[in-house]
């Protein structure tokens, strides 16, 4: 892992730095590059615009590491309200949650019950519930919650991270559930015995997992979603989908709001199923630092705002 990436990821966990930077206007302005605004309505309006351009969206309220059950219940109620609004506005929008935002660390059982309520409401709203993957120490718990939710509701998917050495085995263990999997490269600071430190190994792992997902998609055993902005990877995946006779409508490409926006539209106009993940809310510091770490050149964007 590059030095700049590692420093930025360590900084993303600093409460002190969060307090110093969050209130600075230049930093707020820079973060806005990756989010339409802090309010839910900003995200819903952006989802409406994407829908007009033939793209779906995925909404997520920023926040993580909640330990109090009362606070977690507020997060659950917030998302129940989001699903109401998605249904009322007839938006082609999904929802993505972080389990630590729903109090996974405080009470796993409480978290499971909240996920089940959200999955039920998403089903009613003809939406879909995605579960993000966080640091490697949460993977077992996240997959456990996913298995319990998927046993009761069809419209639930989970994210897997290609950089983790364990992911091929995790994928195999999920296949009997006919899962929906969002494959990403991975955004956290992990030790080398847990995650591949070199980008080229992560890319190779990503493509291998993508091939496996497409093979299973051809047999309707999995709904694959590729969460990446790596255009050459997307091209290879699309070619492999054709080779494995997977209909273009059977897989989706998801990208983050504000990253490669022109390419998102171009991909959709060429017949791919594209969704944009739109983040909103005030707890954007750790998340924004991860976006900087993905492309340390983004730090220049922040510095330009200072000037």
Ligand X SMILES: Cc1cc2nc3c(=O)[nH]c(=O)nc-3n(C[C@H](O)[C@H](O)[C@H](O)COP(=O)(O)OP(=O)(O)OC[C@H]3O[C@@H](n4cnc5c(N)ncnc54)[C@H](O)[C@@H]3O)c2cc1C
32 binds ligand X (CB under 6 A): no
Contacts of 49 (CB under 8 A, 6+ apart): none
145 binds ligand X (CB under 6 A): no
133 binds ligand X (CB under 6 A): yes
142 binds ligand X (CB under 6 A): no
The structure tokens listed for 28 are 């707020």
Contact region for ligand X (CB under 6 A) — 16-24, 215-223, 240-248, 290-298? 290-298
Candidate list 215, 265, 294, 296; residue touching ligand X; CB under 6 A? 294
256 binds ligand X (CB under 6 A): yes
Dihedral sign for Cα atoms in the order 81, 178, 148, 209 = negative
- DSSP symbols for 294-305: H-TTHHHHHHHH
Active site residue 132: yes
Alpha helices in the chain (DSSP H): 3-11, 15-22, 25-31, 40-52, 69-89, 108-124, 139-152, 167-174, 199-218, 231-243, 261-269, 285-294, 298-306
**Which residues partner with 255 through β-bridges?**
276
Contact region for ligand X (CB under 6 A) — 38-46, 118-126, 240-248, 287-295? 287-295
Cα(115)–Cα(93) distance, rounded to whole angstroms? 18
Active site residue 182: yes
Contact region for ligand X (CB under 6 A) — 5-13, 64-72, 169-177, 178-186? 178-186
* Catalytic-role residue among 76, 114, 121, 132: 132
Least distance (Å) from ligand X to the CB of residue 143? 13
Query: Quick check: 206 and 162 in contact, CB under 8 A?
Result: yes
Task: Kindly tell me which of 114 and 190 has the beta carbon lying closer to ligand X.
Answer: 190
Task: Kindly tell me which of 69 and 283 has the beta carbon lying closer to ligand X.
Answer: 283
Give the H/E segment covering residue 183: strand 180-184
Task: Kindly tell me which of 175 and 299 has the beta carbon lying closer to ligand X.
Answer: 299
Task: Kindly tell me which of 78 and 229 has the beta carbon lying closer to ligand X.
Answer: 229
188 binds ligand X (CB under 6 A): yes
Query: Quick check: 186 and 203 in contact, CB under 8 A?
Result: no
279 binds ligand X (CB under 6 A): no
Cα(227)–Cα(277) distance, rounded to whole angstroms? 9
Contact region for ligand X (CB under 6 A) — 4-12, 36-44, 145-153, 253-261? 253-261
Task: Kindly tell me which of 69 and 265 has the beta carbon lying closer to ligand X.
Answer: 265
Give the H/E segment covering residue 97: strand 93-97
Catalytic residue numbers? 132, 182
Binding site for ligand X (CB under 6 A): 132-133, 159, 161, 184-188, 227-230, 254-256, 259, 277, 291, 294-295, 298
């Amino acid at each position: 892992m590059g030095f700049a990436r590692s420093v930025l990821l360590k900084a993303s966990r600093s409460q002190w730095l969060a307090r110093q930077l969050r209130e600075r206007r230049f930093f707020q302005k820079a973060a806005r590059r990756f989010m339409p605004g802090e309010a839910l309505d900003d995200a819903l309006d952006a989802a409406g615009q994407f829908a007009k351009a033939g793209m779906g969206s995925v909404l997520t309220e920023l926040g993580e590491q909640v330990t109090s059950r009362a606070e977690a219940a507020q997060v659950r109620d917030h998302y129940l309200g989001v699903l109401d609004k998605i249904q009322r506005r007839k938006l082609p929008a999904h929802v993505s949650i972080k389990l630590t935002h729903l109090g996974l660390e405080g009470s796993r059982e409480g978290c499971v019950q909240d996920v089940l309520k959200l999955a039920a409401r998403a089903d009613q709203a003809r939406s879909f519930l995605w579960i993000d993957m966080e640091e490697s120490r949460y993977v077992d718990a996240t997959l456990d919650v996913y298995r319990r939710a998927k046993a009761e509701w069809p419209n639930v998917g989970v994210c897997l991270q290609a950089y983790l050495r364990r992911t091929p085995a995790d994928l195999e263990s999920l296949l009997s559930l006919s899962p929906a999997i969002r494959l990403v490269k991975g955004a956290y600071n992990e030790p080398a015995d847990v995650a591949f430190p070199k980008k080229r190994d992560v890319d190779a792992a990503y493509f291998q997992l993508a091939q496996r997902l497409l093979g299973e998609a051809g047999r309707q055993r999995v709904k694959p979603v590729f969460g990446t902005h790596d255009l050459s990877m997307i091209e290879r995946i699309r070619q492999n989908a054709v080779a494995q006779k997977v209909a273009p409508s059977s897989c989706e490409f998801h990208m983050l709001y504000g990253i490669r926006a022109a390419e998102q539209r171009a991909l959709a106009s060429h017949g791919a199923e594209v969704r944009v993940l739109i983040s909103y809310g005030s707890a954007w510091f750790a998340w924004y630092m991860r976006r900087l770490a993905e492309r340390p050149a983004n730090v220049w964007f922040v510095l330009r705002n200072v000037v």
